[in-house]
Chain A
C-alpha cells in the first residue's frame, strides 16, 4: 500500500526557512514523478513544485528562487526546502505521487501546516 507522510511544518517568521519532508512507503520516490501542492483558504489548491523521474525540477512562479524540491533515494523521502518565507506561503502543504501522466496526482499525504507570521 502506498503511503506518504509529511512532516516539518510549523510556525516560522517572515523571511525564515523551513524544510518539509515526505516519507514514502509502498513505492520508490526516486522512480516516480513527485509533487508538492499547497492549500489555503485564500488561494485554494495551488501547485508548488514537481520533480520528475529524470530529476528535472519545476516550480510555480510564486516560489521560484525561494523553494527547492529534492529527494533522498536511501531514505525514500521527498523534501521541500523553503526560504525567504512570506505570509502568503501560509498553507497546508501536501506531497503527492504522480499518476499515469506524471503530473496528475495519484496518492497524497495527509498534509502539514506551515504558518508564516511574526
Chain B
C-alpha cells in the first residue's frame, strides 16, 4: 500500500507570501492529484499530473517521479486560498477495472490579511 505523506500539516502565511506544500509517496505511481477542501467541506480537484509541471492561475504543481515527490506552490497568497490541500496518488488499476487513489492527510493553510 502506498504511503502518502504531506508536509507541513498546518501552515499560516501572511497575505502575499509564496507558499509551498509538499507531498511524498513510497511506491511508484502513474499519476498524482492535488485537491482543495474548502472550510465548508467541499472538495475540488486542482491538478492531475504524471510528470513535469502544471500551472493554473497562481497555483503551480510539480512532480519528480524519480524522487517520489510533488509540490504545490501558491504565488501571491490570498485569504481566499485558506483551505485544506490534499495530495492523492494513483497506483495503477485494480482488478475491477478502475484505479484507486490513496490520499494524504492534508495540509491546512491559513492566509492572514
Partners in one complex: no
